[in-house]
Amino acid sequence: MRLSHYFLPILRDDPKEAEIVSHRLMLRAGMIRQSAAGIYSWLPLGLRVLRKIEQIIREEQDRAGAIELLMPTLQSAELWRQSGRYDAYGPEMLRLKDRHDRDLLYGPTNEELITQIFRDATSSYRDLPRILYHIQWKFRDEIRPRFGVMRGREFLMKDAYSFDLTPEAARHSYNKMFVAYLRTFHRMGLKSIPMAAETGPIGGEMSHEFIILAKTGESRVFCHKALLELTPPDENIDYDSDLGPVIAPWTSQYAATEEIHNAAEFAKQVPEEQQIEARGIEVGHIFNFGTKYTKAMNCAIQGPDGSLITPQGGSYGIGVSRLVGAIIEASHDDNGIIWPKAVAPFDIGMINLKSGDAQTDSACEQLYSQLRSAGFEVLYDDTRERAGAKFKTMDLIGLPWQIVIGPRGLKDGAVELRERATGKAEMIPLEGVIARLREPEPGLGKL
């Protein structure tokens, strides 16, 4: 993409409404614009990140055997009356009426709807287990939206729902999602820590929040240091095998959010030098809630012996739009965002230091086209800005690699390759750029 043809409204100054760093940087980097309190438009750069995150989530859900569908944003109140949540949910739920004066709501979650869909389409035990998911916009009318996309009212969420015949089978579905979440967040360059959690209004007995540590996190969390060193299973993990032992390293160590933290237990279970007390951002939440919704929604399945079985349910959320902010909270410096490679809006930012100079232009054009043919996503700054301004912009938007091309280096046929995360720069021959970019990252195993 040529910057001269792109839509990237950079702000040089901090907008005063943005308090925390991710919100500030997203506004300044031209990723989002606010439309109303807690409601945002996603500009091209932000959208690209959102899509990358979505895609990683999708791949890992699919790998774990979940099946994608898409439910609407608007739901009928009638459905929610069946589960009893229409009245229980409170003012957080946005309620509206259509022209026939029928009650509708903008979905804050989808347990009722998915249960209805599943119920109406399934009658045999042979059709279980299933995990269905979708990635859709939700609305919760928060009392006080804040922190940009981290706590918006409208937000993009992946939510999955499992249906199983027995509690044991439901436990297995839960474990599948547990593993999928470990892998998902790891692929995004995040260290996520599953923590025992309260179940809240969704209900149920078993629940984990997936927390990433960040100074600006909204809640205090406590855990064993060893949890930070664990690596998730690789892509060859067999999701049909017993996953209990696989997740044991995570579930056997103390890890709790503030709400259920028990200081005495913490002290007893974790040696002082291994204790971590930090702030965290919740990016995922998994629940197992038994028959809460299937029962309320009259969902029954015929078993092998002809008897009716009420399926066991679970739901599994990931805050997709929140993750964009969370990743920035976890990965930035004074100059701007530092995108993990897997979610960066572009792989490479190419800076033409002397647009209009025939030699520099042609070297840039040549490399730009080669990089794209090689499969890289490149944002090419071909504008007439001065060098300094271009550097500042590139640092702000945080693309993993910067390629700096100017007459000085071209004299020797070289360009500068700079890694945003480390600031390390090296001069390499024009022809060597692609080979250099393809070198495997040290320490990054195959996931």
* Minimum CB distance to RNA smaller for 17 or for 234: 17
State the Cα angle at 5 between 1 and 413, rounded to 5°.
55
The Cα-based distances of 353 to 338, 357, 358, 363, 378 in angstroms read 22, 9, 12, 11, 16
**Assign residue 189 a region: left if phi > 0, alpha if psi is -120 to 50, beta otherwise?**
left
* Minimum CB distance to RNA smaller for 131 or for 396: 396
Please choose, from the candidates 374, 365, 375, 425, the residue with its C-alpha nearest in 3D space to the C-alpha of residue 401: 425
Beta strands 348-352 and 378-381, pairing class: parallel
* Minimum CB distance to RNA smaller for 13 or for 168: 13
* Minimum CB distance to RNA smaller for 72 or for 200: 200
Shortest distance, position 143 Cβ to RNA, whole Å: 4
> Residue 445: how many CB atoms within 10 A of its CB?
8
Shortest distance, position 238 Cβ to RNA, whole Å: 28
Shortest distance, position 89 Cβ to RNA, whole Å: 11
Q: Which residues pair with 255 in a beta bridge?
A: 223
* Minimum CB distance to RNA smaller for 127 or for 385: 385
Shortest distance, position 393 Cβ to RNA, whole Å: 5
Q: Quick check: 234 and 299 in contact, CB under 8 A?
A: no
Which residues sit at the interface with RNA, rule CB under 7 A? 9-20, 23, 34, 36-38, 92, 140, 142-147, 150-153, 155, 157, 200-202, 209, 218-219, 282-285, 317-319, 321-322, 335, 353-354, 356, 386-389, 391-396, 404-410, 416, 418
Shortest distance, position 269 Cβ to RNA, whole Å: 24
- 3-state secondary structure string, 26-80? HHHCCCEEEEECCEEEECHHHHHHHHHHHHHHHHHHHHCCCEECCCCCEEEHHHH
**CA–CA separation, 95 vs 17, rounded Å?**
28
* Minimum CB distance to RNA smaller for 164 or for 209: 209
Shortest distance, position 352 Cβ to RNA, whole Å: 10
Query: What are residue 337's phi and psi, to 5 degrees?
Result: -80, 150
* Minimum CB distance to RNA smaller for 345 or for 409: 409
What are the structure tokens assigned to 249, written together?
């390293």
Q: Quick check: 256 and 266 in contact, CB under 8 A?
A: yes
Shortest distance, position 34 Cβ to RNA, whole Å: 6
